[in-house]
Chain A
Amino acid sequence: MTATLEAPVGSEKTEVGAVPSFEVTIKLRRYNPESEHGEDAYWEEYTVLAHGTDRVLDALHKIKWEHDGSLTFRRSCAHGICGSDAMRINGRNRLACKTLLKDVNPNKPITVEPIKGLPVIKDLVVDMEPFFASYREIMPFLITSGNEPSKERLQSAEQRERFDDTTKCILCAACTSSCPVFWTDGQYFGPAAIVNAHRFIFDSRDEGAAQRLEILNDKEGVWRCRTTFNCTEACPRGIEVTKAIQEVKRAMITRAF
C-alpha cells in the first residue's frame, strides 16, 4: 500500500459553492503604552483577504501573523466556549470567534475595540480583575448544610430546568461590559455576577439564597439595573440575562414583604 495523503502540503482547501474569498478592512482601536503612541489610543486599519466562513478572530489572526505581531488580544478555544475573546465589533459586544465576517457587513470597515468599562492593558486586552472580583463576591458556589449525602442529591428535571439558562455562562464579560450602568459605575456588580448568583439562588439544592440576595441588595446590586436589555443582546450564549436579573429582583421583593 502506498502512502495516501489527505491533501498535499500547502494546498488550501476551498469549498466549492462556498462564499468566495473577499477583502475585508478591519479598523482596530489600538493602545500600547510602550509604543511611540504612549498613553494615547489610536485607530489603525488593515485590509486582509478572508474566506467564506472566516470569523473576525481569523481576520485578527491574519493581521497578527502576517502584518503586525504586536497586535494583542486574548483567544483560546476559538469556538465560543472559553470566553476569552469578547470584544466590541461594530459597536456591539460579541465573541470574535463566533462572529462570521460575512455577517457583519464586510463591505464597510469593521471596527474592533476592547470591551468597555474595564481598564485597557494593551490593544484589545482589558483588566478582567474587577469583573472576576464581582463574580467572587456573590458566592458562586453551592452552599449546603447538614451531612453530605452518601449518594447524589436528588433534583427533579423541572427543578434542574429552573436555573438551566444561567448555567451556560462562560464569564466572557460581554454582558457586563455592554451595560451602560457599568460603563459609568465600575462598582456595579454587573449582569454576569447576577447571572451567576441566579444560577445558585434558583438551584433547589442550594441553601445560600438569602445570603446572596442580601449581597445583591446593595446600592450597587440588582437595583441599579435599568433593563436596557444590552446584556441579553450581547450574551454569546443566548442567556436571557435581563430576565434573570428581574427574577432575582422579584425574589428579593418576595423576601422583603
Chain B
Amino acid sequence: MSTTSTSSPLAAPRDPYKRQKTTRSNYELYSWVFMRASGVVLIVLIFGHLFVNLMVGEGVHAIDFGFVAGKWASPFWQVWDLLMLWLAMIHGTNGVRTIINDYAQRDGTRLVLKGALYLAFVVVTVLGTLVVFTFDPCPPNALDYQLPSFCFTGRP
C-alpha cells in the first residue's frame, strides 16, 4: 500500500441513503384539509338528506317516484344532491387513494389500483351528475299515479 498517494476523493463509509424525489407542493396539505372540511359538510348534507327523506311527514313511506321527482324539480335539492354526490365521491376516492398509497407495496399494483379507482370515480360522478341535471320529472310514458302532481297542471 502506498502511503504517499495523493488524497483522492474517498469512498463514503456507507452508501448514503437518498430520498428518491422531493415533492413539495401544497397538494397534500389541501387534500388533507379537504378531507376534514368535506367530512363536516357531508355530515350536514347526509343527515339533512336522511331527515327530509325519512323523518318529515309520512317518513319513509312517502318515498316514491313522485317524491323524488318532486325534490329534483327544485333547484335547491338539485344543488344539495349534486354537492353531496361530488363531495362524497371526492372524499371517498381520496380516502381509498391514501389507503392504496399506504398498503400497495409495488409501484405496478399501486398504478393499477389507482387507475381502477379513478375510472370508477369518473363513471359514477359523470352518470350521477347527468342524472341530477337531465332528470325529467314528467316522462311521457309514465302512469299517472306515479307522477308528481305538478305534471298535471295545465293538462286538459
Contacts and interface: CB of A to CB of B under 8 A. Distances in A.
The reply to whether chain A is a binding partner of chain B is yes
Interface stretch (A98-106, A141-149, A180-188, A230-238): A180-188
Interface string B1-44: 00000000000001111111011111111011100000000000
Contact of A129 (B16, B102, B103): B16
A7 to B, nearest CB: 44
A77 interface: no
Interface SS, A side:
helix
A129 B28 contact: no
Contacts of A220: 19, 23
A226 B23 CA distance: 19
A133 B103 CA distance: 23
A191 B15 CA distance: 23
A72 B15 CA distance: 22
Interface residues of B, number: 24
A42 interface: no
Interface string B121-138: 000000000000000000
Determine the interface band of chain A, counting residues with CB < 8 A from chain B.
20 to 34
A23 interface: no
Contact of B101 (A137, A185, A214, A218): A185
B26 A217 contact: yes
B105 interface: yes
A107 B104 CA distance: 37
Contacts of A219: 23, 25, 27-28
Interface string B28-62: 11011100000000000000000000000000000
A218 B33 CA distance: 15
A180 B19 contact: no
B95 to A, nearest CB: 11
Nearest to A255: B29
Contacts of A253: 29, 33
Nearest to A130: B17
Contacts of B28: 217-219, 221, 223-224
A249 interface: yes
B19 A187 contact: yes
A215 interface: yes
Given A129-B14, A226-B98, 16 more contacts: A129-B15, A129-B17, A130-B17, A137-B19, A184-B104, A187-B20, A214-B24, A217-B25, A217-B26, A217-B28, A219-B25, A220-B19, A221-B28, A224-B101, A226-B102, A252-B29
7 contacts: A129-B17, A133-B18, A184-B105, A218-B28, A219-B23, A219-B28, A256-B29
Interface of A: 129-130, 133, 137, 180-181, 184-185, 187, 214-215, 217-221, 223-224, 226, 249, 252-253, 256
